[in-house]
Structures are given as structure tokens and as C-alpha cells.
Amino acid sequence: MTQTTEITTRGGLKIPVQMYLDFVSGSIYLACYLEPVPDPLQRCLDLVTDNTVSLVLGVAGGFHIASGFPEITPIKAADLRFCGRIYIYSDNVLSSSELEQLLQVAKQKGHLLEYCGRNWAAQHVQIEKPLAFISYDSRDKDTVAKPLVEELGRFPGCTVWYDEYSLKIGDNLRESIEKGLQECKKCVLVLSRNFLANSGWTKTEFNSIFTREIVEQSNVVLPIWCDVSRDEIYSYSPSLANRVAAHWSKGAAEVARQIYLAANA
């Protein structure tokens, strides 16, 4: 199970931290997201050198949860041991020397640190097939698509095809999109009025997705309704109006949770 909390480093930066509690192995490890900041190295050093880790682990002591595995002695959350593993996910780029310094300091503190920055994300996308392809109108990027991708990124192993992260200069746009559509497990449609009025790329992606469903005879589409009515969806695609959808009005975190669960069902 996971528990999310928020800590404030001595530099005054608030960082959301997820604590993963593994009752099978009897251990805890931590993962956090560092937002873009002007001094990422110092913020990371603050995270691993002050009493941040102790504060987060102290939260476990407040859980009245025990494992319920048959014939296994129940383990309380407070009795789980920290394995020393910390994952920092961030859009900030650290130089090789900065990363080496950070890892050395973490090692001296007894932590096994993994820094997952932009380079890691780009390589991760290349070697792993995406769990979901995010199809959206560019006008909904900042308000819907990017917040959704950021929330999905908080789930372990959740890799998505998202143009900002999956495309690089020189890529063939059509080939890259078609590859993403073919390889992803699910296709998320951000159905807004902008999407429904777009007769360009989103329409092309939509047609490709439904062609794949016909060929594979499986349900690939995970729709998100963004301030649109059933009549509007029906006018765009009658078959799409009959799909159970997530509703953006419930917030990015809840929609991401629903998408992650559906994609892994």
C-alpha cells in the first residue's frame, strides 16, 4: 500500500512524498516528486541530509494497519523497516558532476538514491512500451493533458506516450504517433470541445484507435469527458457515447487513479 504525505525541507520547499509499505518483505521505501526549481541540487541535498526522511517515516507510526495474509504473523505499519531506497522524480536536469555529488552524499547518509530526471524519462519511454497513449487537443495541454500525465507519473511503472516527453527533434511525427498508438496498452482520449472540433491530428488518432479496436477485437479506449455532454459525444461518435468514462470535474488525481486502474485491469 502507499501513503502520501508532504514534507517541508529546511530550505522551505514543500515536497510531496509517497511512502510505499511492503508488508510481504516488511519494508518501506520512498518516492517523491521535485517540481522545477532554480537550485535542484541544493533541494535534493536538503531532502537527503536533514531530518526529512525521519519525518516521513514517523508518519508510519500513526497507521493502525496490519497485514492480513493467512497464517502469517500480522505486521503493523510502525514495525516496517526503511530499506534505504529513495526515488526522486523531477523535470530538473542535474549535470553529471552534480548527480555524482548527490549520490555520494546520499550514500554517506546510508540512502540508496535514484534520481529520475528528464534524461531518465526519455530513456524510459524508449525502452518500455507505454501503458497508455494520451490523445488530446493542444489547446487542452496545460489545463488537462499535462496535469494528467504528471499525476499518472506518480504511479509506479506507469509509462505513457505523451508528445512532450516522447518526441524529440527530428522525429517523424506520423511514424512516432502511429508507433505509440500500436504499442500502448490503452489509449486515453481527452474529450473536450476542443478535441471534438479538431479535424486534424486528434481525428486521425481517433480513427487509428478505433481501427485498432476492430482489428484486435478488444477495448482500447479510455475516455475522459471534459465539460462535454452525452449529446456532444454522441454527435462525434455514437459508439463512444456508450463507453464508461472518467470525468475531469473529479480532478486530475482521481482521474489518473481511474485511468491507472483501468489500464492495469
Q: How many other CB atoms sit within 10 Å of the CB of residue 211?
A: 11
Of 105, 112, 1, nearest to 63 (Cα)? 1
C-alpha distances (whole Å) from 146 to each of 23, 49, 59, 215 are 33, 31, 30, 30
Rounded-to-integer distance, Cα 197 and Cα 139, Å: 11
Rounded-to-integer distance, Cα 40 and Cα 47, Å: 11
Rounded-to-integer distance, Cα 90 and Cα 165, Å: 13
Q: Which of 98, 150, 205, 216 is catalytic?
A: 205
For this structure, is 254 an active site residue? no
Rounded-to-integer distance, Cα 196 and Cα 191, Å: 7
Rounded-to-integer distance, Cα 166 and Cα 170, Å: 12
Amino acid making up residue 86:
I
Burial 222-250 (b: 16+ CB within 10 A, else e): bbbbbebeeeebeebbeebbeeebbebee
Which residues are designated catalytic? 205
